[in-house]
Amino acid sequence: MKNEPISKTSLTDWARVDAMEDHDIDFSDCPEITPEMFERAVVRRGLRTIRPTSRVTLQIDQDVLDWFQAQGQHYQALINTLLRAYMEAQRQTRQST
């Protein structure tokens, strides 16, 4: 079975959806979400964004590497995420000055 839509044309009236206000939405068929449900909720990472990557050799202090490796098998992706966040913060700082 393929993961392709049955119809290539959407049957959704998107103009009507865009025009709806919050109070127009019918939630009668949705179960109520309680505070207890939120307490047990688990945040999961979304789909991975495909970006071109480069393999590099980087000198990192051993204790820093040990800490990242202790975070789990995707420690390299975590390092990349933190470097990206730092880069974006620096860009914003430089643009605002």
Does residue 89 surpass a pLDDT of 60? yes
The pLDDT, as a whole number, for residue 2 is: 66
Residue-wise pLDDT tens digits, 44-88: 777 777 788 899 999 999 999 999 999 998 999 999 999 999 999
Whether the predicted model's global pTM rises above the 0.75 cut: no
**CA dist list (Å): 33 to 21, 38, 45, 96, 97:** 21, 8, 21, 41, 44
Q: What percent of the chain has pLDDT over 70?
A: 96
